[in-house]
């Protein structure tokens, strides 16, 4: 074991997150002074099959304090991994997995195990003096992804808003360009045009990168799709920019009524209603990615939708970056892509196992930074060669991609039209 990569310090603390509640920050230091820092937070749409996070309960932070997870790092995980080699990710993660001993990380908390695991990965790269993406993917990690930019969030458009947690959310995906930097600028440009159109059409405006649509402004999300299409067309981005939607449909599903309630419009919808609506969306608008379009346990429904539509169908709550759930999807043909959230499963090794399984089966992998991954999601994306990710076209994540693109120089290859599953077939049907 290289002496320099020996883990000599593991420290954690409770920090603010962009989710409105605390996250767990962990810093791992190696013998040669290299550091890795990672933060885990909870998401908006949390699948019932995700690992469990450790929370403090009580009244402080609305019960979402994470000092319990911090204590688990200091008292349980740190003593066990100190002295291990930070470049031996699998070995470190196995110790963490064994310490917890549960399939859902319910003993230590997935926020504790995930923060340590990711910090070890970063410390390992730093101790070797190489970028994180190269530590993950080696010298062949040169593929720059198709980026997206979020354009719409907001809950409560067609009801109380208690179910949705801000979903469906929409993004523009920018694939028809020559480089990541060109696609990133297109993402900024199309979203700027979209915000302008939303203000002129509905009087909705804000100072953020996306539009939050309050209740009462539209009767059906189709009105929003029209504006998104117009933004694309106004910039002559036809067949260069498409639409991604994170439906998180399970958050609207009422099993006792067998209906989706308050999604896309006020009317209740059956599974068949949703199927027909997705067919209309793909036929009349440039939707290229549908994420969690049905309930999170409906493998057969997702399989049927995948057979019907020539677009990328992504499982997030459906798969939860979990190899066992992904196996069920592969067996039924449910979806054709997996969302990657490295803290959904609790350790880097388990997340990357799911990535390898998905890619080996011909599925796409779409990284997402909604669990606190931050700019590191850029390194995961390039290191794993996924070809695209959810968002990442603007902001701090984009800055990291631009840095990677600069480092790679002429070796950088933009995924473009090959970055999204089924895109060639979808566009062929449109022209």
Predicted confidence (pLDDT) per residue in 170-213, tens digit: 999 999 999 999 999 999 999 999 999 999 999 887 656 678 88
- Residues with Cβ within 8 Å of residue 324, at least 6 apart in sequence: none
Query: pLDDT tens-digit profile of 99-135?
Result: 999 999 999 999 999 999 999 999 999 999 999 999 9
Quick one: 95 and 151 in the same domain?
Answer: no
Quick one: 155 and 85 in the same domain?
Answer: no
Q: What CATH number corresponds to the domain at position 298?
A: 3.20.20.120
CA angle (334, 337, 339) in 5-degree steps? 115
Quick one: 253 and 222 in the same domain?
Answer: yes
The tokens 């009349």 sit on which residue?
284
Asked if residue 3 lies in contact with residue 83, where contact means CB atoms within 8 angstroms, the answer is: no
Quick one: 247 and 336 in the same domain?
Answer: yes
Compute how many other C-beta atoms are within 10 angstroms of the C-beta atom of residue 336: 22
Query: pLDDT tens-digit profile of 173-184?
Result: 999 999 999 999
Quick one: 91 and 114 in the same domain?
Answer: yes
Q: CA-to-CA distance for 296 and 301, rounded, in angstroms?
A: 10
How would you classify the pairing of strands 143-144 and 413-414? parallel
Q: What CATH number corresponds to the domain at position 89?
A: 3.30.390.10
DSSP 333: T
Quick one: 143 and 64 in the same domain?
Answer: no
Using left for φ > 0, alpha for ψ between -120 and 50, and beta otherwise, residue 363 falls in beta
- Give me the percent of the chain exceeding a pLDDT of 70: 94
Total structural domains within the chain: 2
Domain boundary among 106, 129, 152: 129
Structural domain containing residue 48: 3-129
Domain boundary among 76, 107, 129: 129
Output the average pLDDT for the chain: 93
Query: pLDDT tens-digit profile of 407-426?
Result: 999 999 999 999 999 998 88
Query: pLDDT tens-digit profile of 60-114?
Result: 999 999 999 999 999 999 999 999 999 999 999 999 999 999 999 999 999 999 9
pLDDT of residue 46: 61
Domain boundary among 129, 146, 176: 129
């Amino acid at each position: 074991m290289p002496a320099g990569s020996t883990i000599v310090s593991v420290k954690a603390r409770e920090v603010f997150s962009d989710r409105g509640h605390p996250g767990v920050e962990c810093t791992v230091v190696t013998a040669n002074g290299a550091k890795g820092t990672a933060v885990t937070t909870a998401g908006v749409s949390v699948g019932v099959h995700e690992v469990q996070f450790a929370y403090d309960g009580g009244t402080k932070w609305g019960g979402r304090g994470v000092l319990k997870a911090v204590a688990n790092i200091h008292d349980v995980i740190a003593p066990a991994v100190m002295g291990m080699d930070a470049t031996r990710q699998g070995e470190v993660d196995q110790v963490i997995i064994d310490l917890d001993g549960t399939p859902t990380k319910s003993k230590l908390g997935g926020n504790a195990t995930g923060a340590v695991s990711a910090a070890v990965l970063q410390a390992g790269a730093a101790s070797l003096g190489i970028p994180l993406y190269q530590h993950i993917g080696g010298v062949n990690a040169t593929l720059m992804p198709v980026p997206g930019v979020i354009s719409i969030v907001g809950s409560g458009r067609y009801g109380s808003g208690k179910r949705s947690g801000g979903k469906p959310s929409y993004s523009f995906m920018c694939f028809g360009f020559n480089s990541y930097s060109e696609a990133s600028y297109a993402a900024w440009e199309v979203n700027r045009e979209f915000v302008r159109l939303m203000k002129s059409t509905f009087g909705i405006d804000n100072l953020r990168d996306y539009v939050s649509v309050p209740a009462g402004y539209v009767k059906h999300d189709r009105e929003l799709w029209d504006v998104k299409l117009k933004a694309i067309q106004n910039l002559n981005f036809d067949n260069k920019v498409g639409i991604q939607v994170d439906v998180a449909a399970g958050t609207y599903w009422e099993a006792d009524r067998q209906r989706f309630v308050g999604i896309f419009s006020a009317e209740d919808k059956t599974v068949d209603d949703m199927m027909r609506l997705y067919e209309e969306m793909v036929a009349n608008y440039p939707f290229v990615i549908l994420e969690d379009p049905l309930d999170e346990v409906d493998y057969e429904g997702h399989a049927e939708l995948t057979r019907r539509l020539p677009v990328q169908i992504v499982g997030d709550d459906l798969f939860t970056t979990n190899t066992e759930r992904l196996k069920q999807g592969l067996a039924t043909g449910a979806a054709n892509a997996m969302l990657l959230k490295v803290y959904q499963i609790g350790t880097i090794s388990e997340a990357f196992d799911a990535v390898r399984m998905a890619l080996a089966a011909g599925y796409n992998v779409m990284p997402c930074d909604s669990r606190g991954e931050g700019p590191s999601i850029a390194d995961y994306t390039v290191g794993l060669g996924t070809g695209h990710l959810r968002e990442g076209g603007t902001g701090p994540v984009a800055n990291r991609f631009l840095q990677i693109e600069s480092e790679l120089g002429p070796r950088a290859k933009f995924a473009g039209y090959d970055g999204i599953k089924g895109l060639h077939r979808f566009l062929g049907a449109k022209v």
